[in-house]
A and B are shown apart, each in its own frame.
Chain A
Amino acid sequence: MSMPDADADDLIRPIRKPTRAYFLVAALAGIASVVFVAAYILQLSQGMEVTGLSDWGSGGGSTWGLYIGTFIWWVGIAHGGIVISAAVRLLKLEKYEPVARIAELLTIGALSMAGLMIVVHLGRPDRVVWSVVQAYPTTVHTSPLAWDLTVITLYFVLTATYLSLTLRSDVYRLRDKLPDILDPLYSLLLFRYDTDEDPVVERMAWWLALAIIVLAPLLLHGGVIPWLFQLTPSMPGWYGGLTSPTFLSAALSSAMGGVIVVCFVFRKVYTNWDKVIPDDVIWGLGWWMGIFALIFIWLQLQRMITGLYAPPLDVETVMTATAEFWLYWVAMLLMFLPLAYVAFQHFGILKFSERGMLVAAIAVVLGILVEKTLFTVEGLLYPATQLYENTPGNYFPTWIEMSSVLGTTGLIILFFLLVSKLIPIVELKSVEHGGHGEEEAVADGGVETETCAEGAQEGGD
């Protein structure tokens, strides 16, 4: 029953038709979010002692834990937007145009969740704005955490600008198909819109993409986020220049994974969306996910071999502890198996499968969450000073902390559910000029193998 090609009607289908699945997903995501909010209220009223965290030192525990791990995780996933926008705008990989806006929305959502995780992590969230602002002129010179807040805010603003700029012409052209009830929103979006601005916007978008690509990978997960850790010489598990590249590869692989998951859902839920987002886009995303996972694993190998072969004693302690902890190897497997899966597809041993790619993507996303949390905690449990070796303590996240992972995931889902009802989440022009090749593929009757080979070729370039 699928139509030969995707068109504008397909794009706005999510806006028009709330399905049963929609409400079901909304309900589940809502529950997760509510549990998270409840847990947070409990934490606010009783203090941070409801977490498994405690003072490192004579307290024996880890003062940063799952909250920080989840923070790193969300910032990493937020890298998807920039990678894909850059591919589309700067590298002219128009194939990825259909997922560009989804990725940007994911960036906006994930950055918000990262910000939320910081707030949840704080002992005194009520003060955060004023305290940060009043000291900012000084702290921006010295505090990696101030740098983090700066870069994350910048990234958020740039992405939001980019998104709204590119959204205007789409909304304008689809205006009559969009629901009247949302009129005020669209009027706001189209404030002073003029069709003449399109070429200007196109150029601005190019520059914005360039700015973001310099900012995000080089400064965010390749910079200020790992700097929170790697600039601490007294924590041998963190210290060292390898931390940044490891973080960046983790970010990019999980970002690709995140985009795959979102695309999969939209393709499944809405009729004809497997034409809006064709197989070879999913394949291409998966291919890049594999590449980044490979780099990640390779960097882990460097970290391990350096930390275990002939390390200083303090490095040896933390690296041995990490190497002996089964959870670390679970994380590595969660990265390695998807890599192998993608490689097998590439070599033609396995056929491309949408579901297979979804599972691989989820594995990568989870693998990074586990690894980043472990990285944070192991670093703090094995500081350079061994003074506290016989003061007991431990860290294991409580359900309150764990609810933050589910809760933020739920919030992101709600965010997508909401946004997909308000604006077209795929750029109009991707169905306008992207349809042709698709038609041929369908005509050949060999979408699966065809696109797979195509994707492989593209990846090999």
Chain B
Amino acid sequence: MNLTLKIWRQKSTNDQGKIVEYKVTDISEDMSFLEMIDVLNYDLVEKGDDPVTFDHDCREGICGMCSMFINGEAHGPNRGVTTCQLHMRSFKDGETIYIEPWRSAGFPVIKDLMVDRGAFDRIQQAGGFISVNTSGRTLDANAIPVPKEDADKSFDAATCIGCGACVATCPNGSAMLFVSAKVSQYALLPQGQVERKERVLNMVKKMDEEGFGNCSNIGACEVQCPKGISLENIARMNREYLMASIKPEN
């Protein structure tokens, strides 16, 4: 199939940036969306033009690097998939496709479609861990049984890939879904109890400092999240936060 692409081009963080139009031809339905961009880039390089810069690595929906806003939707039209898992069979011959980067105060553009998600790392550093040294001399792994339901829920929250689609989708640019997924993973496990309060307080504080917006319960993040991270996590984090705030340590 043949397509018209309207792609956001921006040379650097401080550059203005603009949409530029490209044509690609002979695209097969079996190609992934990123393979379609590879075809475009190959042509651009051959012609001596600057190829489109974008983040990607695993190309199987797990590393969380790919991050394109396609026709106004984070990761494109399909639910439950990342940009790299999107295939061209989801588009029609002759279609025009708009491709833009994640846009949010928390994610400055580095170049073209590539943004800086360092804020997510910094939120994690503020409390997204259990303070246990890696000596290996801990309890036997089976010493504390964990109810299967809790373990499964914790796992579901932990499958967040840190892509940032939730932030990009949210009209407020809120990072609540991402942060609440991490908070929930630990809150649901016995191992996470000791630092339960500081964790949520520290992570939320950092989230606010990084310039992410407030949550006003719109719910767009859950819809666009490629991993189906549930709004339940946000509710849980709000409870955790409240509990931690009203009962100060001493």
Tell whether A and B belong to one assembly.
Answer: no
Which B positions have Cβ atoms within 8 angstroms of A? Answer: none
